[in-house]
Amino acid sequence: MTTTSNDGEHTRVITLSEAGVAQAVFGPLHRHLAHIQEAFRDPNAPRGAPAYSVTLDAQGDRVILRARTEADLERAQRIIDALADLARRKAKIREGEVFAAISFSEGSGTAAAPFSLPQLGGLTLRTPRQVHYVEALRDENLDLIFGVGPAGTGKTFLAVAAAVEAMKQERVDKIIVTRPAVEAGEKLGYLPGDLAEKVDPYLQPIWDAFRSQMSETDLKARRERRQIEVAPLAFMRGRTLSNAFVIVDEAQNSTVLQMKMVLTRLGEGSRMVVTGDPSQIDLVRPDQSGLAHAINILEDIPAVEVIRFATQDVVRHRLVAHIVEAYHRDESGRG
């Protein structure tokens, strides 16, 4: 029920009576509610006027919404409802999921429909562009997907999650993840051990992504059956990759010839995802990166999709997006 005061302020009380739901939605020290309220900050508010067009006040298992307009009230309600729905499915709500709910709540007027935060393998998608990316990863009509953009946008993590989903649904027989063994300012040759031991530290983020989607026992068993393979890009030469979900990670560090080599490995029943960040090229000659070249010549081919992430899609610590933007400004300034 909504009440409207004489000065036009709209008020609504939402009760979250299920055990633990209110606590999860409100967050520690009501931090989640503070983030939601911050989304309604009015930078044009006159001096002395309230800084927020919506305020939220938690009382027990209830939250009281007060808004200047009915549209703002409905949007705040949609955010709370989406987080409550998420809290019923999982015990804890992360800060990033609050920002996701804020992002997905955008809509005009009071007719905007309620929504649920989209999921992939237990992961909550955080931005509309991530949703677009996952839709492409699931689209059987797309055989080659490029996911490019800044670090922390979920390019590789979501690709691995989609690959595991496809394998569990028996749409592919195996998953192959490959990346160039290019040192980021350090010398690989000085590391101890054989080639596999030297390369393994560079592949750790991939294994972390797999462990988020399956148990250690399942991962080990599938590796032993060679259903899951992670290897340096050089190991792909001469192979034909059939009935596989192939992920080419850190592709900005592949040369034009290496990119051509791996793209032409695709066999019957296979799909390939190529991920990379053009701003983090570790090659001696950055102009020889095969990622931009491949996108330039392949983007208009049917069954090829290019998803370009931006700093707004960074889902790590909020400061990371500002760091990426600061480095971009500095590099642009130095031209």
Return the H-helix or E-strand segment holding 304.
strand 304-308
Q: Cα-flanking dihedrals φ and ψ of residue 261, to 5°? A: -60, -50
Q: Which residue has the tokens 């998953």?
A: 175
Cα distance between residue 131 and residue 142, in whole Å:
15
pLDDT on residue 92:
87
Q: How many CB atoms lie within 10 A of CB 282?
A: 15
Structure tokens at 263: 């793209």
Gap between the Cα atoms of 226 and 164, Å rounded:
14
Cα–Cα distance for residue pair 308/287, rounded to 1 Å? 20
- Report the pLDDT value the prediction gives residue 170, as an integer from 0 to 100: 95
Domain ranges of the chain: 2-117, 128-334
Nearest to 17 by CA among 78, 69, 68, 62: 62
Q: Same fold for the domain at 2-117 and the one at 128-334?
A: no
For the chain, 335 residues long, give each residue's pLDDT as a single digit of tens: 678 776 778 999 999 988 799 999 999 999 999 999 999 988 877 776 678 899 999 999 999 999 989 999 999 999 999 999 999 988 789 988 999 999 898 764 445 678 888 989 888 898 889 999 999 999 999 999 999 998 889 999 999 999 999 999 999 999 999 988 754 444 455 555 555 555 666 678 888 889 999 999 999 999 999 999 988 888 888 888 999 999 999 999 999 999 999 999 999 999 999 999 988 888 888 888 899 999 999 999 999 999 999 888 887 666 776 787 788 777 777 65
**pLDDT for the residue 314:** 83
User: Residue for token digits 């690709």?
Assistant: 159
Indicate the pairing of strand 62-67 with strand 10-15.
antiparallel
Q: With respect to CATH, is domain 2-117 assigned 3.40.50.300?
A: no
- Which CATH code fits 128-334? 3.40.50.300
Query: What does the DSSP 8-state code read for residue 46?
Result: P
- The pTM of the full predicted model, rounded to 2 decimals, is 0.81
C-beta neighbour count of 198 within 10 angstroms: 16
Helix H or strand E encompassing 80 = helix 70-89
Question: Virtual CA dihedral for 250, 253, 257, 263, nearest 10 degrees?
Answer: 10
Pairing of strands 123-124, 119-120: antiparallel
